[in-house]
Each structure stands twice: as structure tokens, then as C-alpha cells.
Amino acid sequence: MLLKTLSELNGTSGAEGSVRDFLRQQLKPFVDTLVVDKMGNLIATKNAHLPGPKIMLSAHMDEVALMITDITSDGFLKFQPVGGIDARILVSKPIQMNEALIGVIGSKAIHLQKSSERQKSLTFDQLYIDIGAKCKEEATSKVKLGDYAYFMTKCEPFGEGLYKGKAFDDRVGCALLVELLKQDYAFPLVAAFTVQEEVGLRGAKIAAYHVAPDFAIVLEGTVAADVSDREEDGWVTELGKGPACSLLDRTTLYSPKLIQWVVDIARGKGIPLQFRRGASGGNDAGSIHVSKAGIPTVVLSVPCRYIHSFVSVISEHDYTACFNLVAALLANLPRKLSINPMGEEEL
């Protein structure tokens, strides 16, 4: 299964190589060209010879992880997050580094903590990785500063049509994009598998600039908070209700006309659709929509519970519905799309 393999690959911001290599090999039979740009984005193109509009689909390859920033005299590793990670979720988790090296994130056991310490959650400074090294020299022979540590989570089905796994943000987008590229289209289509989204939408900025598409669709994994301690108005998205169309986040205010186009197509095809009802966070659209003279951009996301953690949860139903919706959008691209609020714009 494509998503399982992608989920279990390790590739954080700036170290997306293994994900990129796997995608290249998967895509080769289905695309005309595969190029890696200076930043590390993988750019796959179909039908470059056909007349426009040129459509760009994008998904980011990087996941959140940890970076080793110090090795202590007794052989423990100190670290900092790459991308947004909640320090409270880290303690007592196994991690993997440099292909085969296993470690455990440690801290003082409950028996040794003062009652005042038990009141407070652990910070990055108090946590460390134990790789079983007896001294600094032994640790240094296996690890160097700047190495990355990844969550170790098998991607598995559970419950009714749910999957658990790490890095669904945004391997779920990568998997969808690979599936979409297996189909034929009558227009130039560029797929950008971007780098460094989690540290500031950096790969997409470069990709959008040199691809210069007429229209972009970003595929993402996003927050689902339909969980026990939240009231309905704080859910952002819900599992099982279909892909989420973004309205507003920290980096983009999505065009109401484009959102209406997505809603109309979903409704017409009977594909479930929900809105992403929260304004926090951001995604590659933030870099893409303001590239050059402006690029109309929409974002569709598969809802993920427990995102940016050791293990997140998605619904296969949402994944399939997201695929169906993007396929329907691509099959129904109007020659003229009134994105421009003042009039019709030639796509």
C-alpha cells in the first residue's frame, strides 16, 4: 500500500531524500519528466507540450521530526524540534536515527520527581535521547550534531476504515498526488512534491516561481479535533466527513469564488466536503498564491487527528473522497474561471 510505505519513510525538512527517491521510482512510468530543483523539490510534468492552462498540484514531502543539537558528556543526545512539535508528547517514545540506530526519549521516572516537578510538563530542555551509549565518545561514533531523529510508528488499519501512522501530514497528500498522476489529462499538469513546508513553506515558494502555473491545488493533511475534550465549535475538521476545503489560515485567505467552484462540483458529484473551520496554521498555498503576479490556489486536506505527533489517525473514506474530488475538479476545469472578482479570467 502506497500510503503505508510513504508514512513509514523518514524525511523531515531539509532531509527529504528517501521520500523523493521513492516517489521518483513510483512516478517514472506515468509522467513525461522528473526534475529535482535546487531546493530539492521534485517536479513531475505531464503534457508540457499541450496548450494551457497549466495546473500545478502540490504536496509536501517533509514531516516534523527532531534534530540533534548536543551530545552530553555521559552520551545522551539533546535535541530541538524541526517543525511544530508539542514537547509534552515526546517522553518515553522510541525513535529512529540514521537508518538503523534506535533510541528512547527519556526523562526522570515518576518515583524520582518532586511533587512540584509533577505539576509541570516537560520541556525540550529536560528531555534527551538515550541511544544506549556509555559515554560521549561512543555516542559521537554513531551520531553527529544535525542528525535527525524520527518517530517509529507502523502504519496500520484499525477501527472502521481508519488508519494510524506517522507523517500523514503530508504523505497523505503525496500518496494522493501519485494516484492522480496515474491518470491521463488533456492539459499540462505539473506535480510539485515540495520540501521544507514545516519550517516555513520554503520549497513551495521556489517551485511556484519556476513552474509559474495558471492555477494550483494544494493537497494536505490538516487538524481534526473532533475528540472528547473539545466542543463542536472547536473541531476545525471532523474525521469521516470528506476532504476539508480551507477558507482562511495564517498564510492565505482563499478566494470565495474558487471555494464556491469546489463546493458546486462536490455537490454535483455527490462527494462529501467540509470546511476547515479554523484560522490557525498555514500551508504551501501561502507561498504559492502570492508568487509572481498571483496564482489562484485552493487547498483540500484529509483530516488527521493527533497531527504533528508520534501517531495520527485518518479515515480511508476521507482519503478516497479527496481523490475523487480532485479528479472531478481536474475533469471540470472551466475554460473561464471567474477567480478575478472584477470579471472573467482566462485560465
For the bound state, the minimum distance from the C-beta of residue 324 to other proteins, rounded and expressed in Å, comes to 22
Rounded CA-CA distance 270/274 in Å is 13
Among 18-26, 123-131, 180-188, 334-342, the segment contacting other proteins (CB under 8 A):
334-342
Phi, psi dihedrals of residue 121, rounded to the nearest 5°: -80, 155
DSSP states of 124-183: GGG-EEE-S-SSHHHHHHH--TT-EEEE----EEETTTEEEES-HHHHHHHHHHHHHHTS
For the bound state, the minimum distance from the C-beta of residue 227 to other proteins, rounded and expressed in Å, comes to 16
Q: Is 347 in the site for other proteins (CB under 8 A)?
A: no
The answer to whether the beta carbons of residues 163 and 6 sit under 8 Å apart is no
Residue 314 exposed, middle or buried by CB count within 10 Å (0-12, 13-18, 19+): buried
The pattern of x and - marking residues 264 through 283 that bind other proteins according to CB under 8 A reads: -----------x-xxx----
Catalytic residues: 197
Assigned C-alpha cell, 276: 476547515
Q: Choose which of 2, 36, 89, 248 interacts with other proteins (CB under 8 A).
A: 248
For the bound state, the minimum distance from the C-beta of residue 67 to other proteins, rounded and expressed in Å, comes to 29
The pattern of x and - marking residues 219 through 238 that bind other proteins according to CB under 8 A reads: -------------xxx----
Q: Helix, strand or coil for residue 317?
A: helix
Q: Helix, strand or coil for residue 320?
A: helix
For the bound state, the minimum distance from the C-beta of residue 17 to other proteins, rounded and expressed in Å, comes to 32
The residues in 136-195 that bind other proteins, with binding defined as CB under 8 A, are: none
Query: In this structure, how many other beta carbons lie within 10 angstroms of the beta carbon of residue 255?
Result: 18
Among 130-138, 183-191, 217-225, 289-297, the segment contacting other proteins (CB under 8 A):
289-297
Nearer to other proteins, 237 or 315 (CB): 237
Nearer to other proteins, 14 or 281 (CB): 281
Nearer to other proteins, 177 or 224 (CB): 224
Q: Is 212 in the site for other proteins (CB under 8 A)?
A: no
Helix 256-269 to helix 316-331 angle (10° resolution) is 110
Nearer to other proteins, 91 or 347 (CB): 347
Query: In this structure, how many other beta carbons lie within 10 angstroms of the beta carbon of residue 201?
Result: 21
Rounded CA-CA distance 216/188 in Å is 12
210 Ramachandran zone, left/alpha/beta (phi>0; psi -120 to 50)? alpha
| Bond from prior residue into 53 cis (ω within 30 degrees of 0) | yes
Q: Choose which of 296, 301, 308, 315 interacts with other proteins (CB under 8 A).
A: 296
Q: Is 253 in the site for other proteins (CB under 8 A)?
A: yes
Q: Is 293 in the site for other proteins (CB under 8 A)?
A: yes
Q: Is 203 in the site for other proteins (CB under 8 A)?
A: no
Nearer to other proteins, 125 or 233 (CB): 233
Assigned C-alpha cell, 268: 454535483
**Length of the chain, please?**
347
Count of chain residues binding other proteins (CB under 8 A): 28
Q: Choose which of 37, 138, 147, 345 interacts with other proteins (CB under 8 A).
A: 345
For the bound state, the minimum distance from the C-beta of residue 218 to other proteins, rounded and expressed in Å, comes to 16
Q: Look at the alpha carbons of 197, 198, 202, 203 in this order and tell me if their dihedral is positive or negative.
A: negative
Q: Choose which of 290, 327, 330, 333 interacts with other proteins (CB under 8 A).
A: 290
Q: Is 317 in the site for other proteins (CB under 8 A)?
A: no
Applying CB under 8 A, the residues found at the interface with other proteins are: 232-234, 247-248, 251, 253-256, 259, 275, 277-279, 289-290, 292-296, 339-343, 345
